[in-house]
Structure 1
Amino acid sequence: MRHEQHRCGVDHGRNHGRGFAARGMMKMMMGGRGPFGRGFGDFGGGFGGWDDESGGRGGRGGGRGRGRMFAGGELRLVLLRLVAEQDRHGYELIKAIEELTGGEYAPSPGVVYPTLSLLVDEGLLAEVAGEGSRKAFTVTEAGRAELAEKAGEADALVERLKAFGEQRQRHSSPPVRRAMHNLKVALGQRLMGGLDDGVAHQIADILDEAARRIERL
């Protein structure tokens, strides 16, 4: 009798633990804090999402230093290089960097525009009339001189952005991203409605089985 009570207690504890883990894992996938910390990958913050000196956001890996795309002063040089190619306004510069990375990274306007203002203050860029109310930027002689001195570094930065985009695209899969997004949406809908232990156990079983099948591929 005591043995049966002990076994029932163990089973109850195991099931309760699975329910807790399932709910925690789903919260983690949605970007919240689960039993193992913040979310991961496409499901939220954590693994892979990173910031840089520009406050931009990119893919789920790479970067410099502690997940930085640009080290100090590198964004400034990239912007100078892009404006030297042709006059551009701030949004066009953000899009140009995004295009260099194949859409995998875009710097934040919150630091791009102050960096452009700094380049103007330094006499390396000048403001010119743009389309409508937008002001564009053009490179000055002083800017071209600095760019000539740092041509090798500027070229390397541009190539690094291109390589980052190519690497990300090689290691990403649109069908897998779509499926991960669908899973995130489905889990989010279930979490909003609340979960009892029975449903949590069923979801945990489905996710466990999916993980096992993926491992066997």
Structure 2
Amino acid sequence: MKEHHPPHHRPREFGDGHDGLEKRPGRERGGRGPRVFAPGDLKLLLLALIAEQPCHGYDLIRQIEGMFDGAYSPSPGVIYPTLTFLEESEMILGDAQAGKKRYSVTHAGQASLTEQAVALEGVRNRIDVSKRSLRGHERPAQIHEAVHNVRHALQLHHGRWNPEEITRVSDLLNQTARAIVDGANPPEEATA
């Protein structure tokens, strides 16, 4: 019996239909452009910036803009709801002064930062990558699609991550990363 899917639940068509890889329209030049923050990155970054020095929302926007050398500036419509979330989560405290809230980190926020130190370093590394991309060193569309396909393949994974499967997939991804770096910087070949 053939399975029927409503239009919004149909399996996606992939690449040419034979390779299992997805083609996504609208990501070429003129599309939305590169995503600057991964889910959760902005919350963690704002928490870290506030822990470094209590400040207002506008100051945070300027600090983030500085991190991107002016190539990106988060909108107030992104910053202030995130600050509200952090405040409601009791990670930061907002103190209204002359109509403007000055945010400071709480003990819970500081503990969260300590727990997420590795993740915060990842956020800062992704900012460096995004900064280069926003300055015009964007990946070609084909590479962008290939990266998306790797993410998609991981999402389609059966979900049974036993130790052998974790090792197999992580080794495969790490070998690919090394091959990309080595191809960009080929080692000097020994002359025989």
Q: TM-score, normalised by structure 1?
A: 0.46
Q: 1:139 aligns with which of 99, 105, 108?
A: 105
Counterpart residue identity of residue 79, structure 2? V
Q: Are 1:47 and 2:18 matched, yes or no?
A: no
- Inter-partner Cα distance in structure 1 for 2:137 and 2:57: 30
Structure number with greater Rg is 1
- Inter-partner Cα distance in structure 2 for 1:69 and 1:168: 9
1 or 2, which has the higher helix percentage? 1
- Inter-partner Cα distance in structure 2 for 1:128 and 1:162: 32
- What's the counterpart of residue 149 of structure 1? 115
SS at match of 1:123: coil
Structure 1 moving runs of 4+ over 6 Å = none
Q: TM-score, normalised by structure 2?
A: 0.52
SS at match of 2:71: coil
Does the 8 Å CA contact 1:124/1:139 hold for their aligned counterparts? yes
Equivalent pairs counted in the alignment come to 114
Q: 2:37 aligns with which of 70, 83, 99?
A: 70
Does the 8 Å CA contact 2:57/2:102 hold for their aligned counterparts? yes
- What's the counterpart of residue 166 of structure 2? none
SS at match of 1:128: strand
- For structure 1, which runs of at least 5 residues remain unmatched after alignment? 1-37, 39-44, 51-60, 173-217
- Inter-partner Cα distance in structure 2 for 1:126 and 1:85: 14
Counterpart residue identity of residue 127, structure 2? L
- For structure 2, which runs of at least 5 residues remain unmatched after alignment? 1-25, 139-192
- What's the counterpart of residue 84 of structure 1? 51
For residues 179-211 of structure 1, the C-alpha deviation after alignment (integer angstroms, 9 at most, x for no partner) is: xxxxxxxxxxxxxxxxxxxxxxxxxxxxxxxxx
Change (3 A) 1:49 1:105: farther
- What's the counterpart of residue 76 of structure 2? 109
RMSD value, Cα: 2.6
**What's the CA shift for 1:100?**
0.4
For residues 4-44 of structure 1, the C-alpha deviation after alignment (integer angstroms, 9 at most, x for no partner) is: xxxxxxxxxxxxxxxxxxxxxxxxxxxxxxxxxx9xxxxxx
**What's the CA shift for 1:161?**
1.3
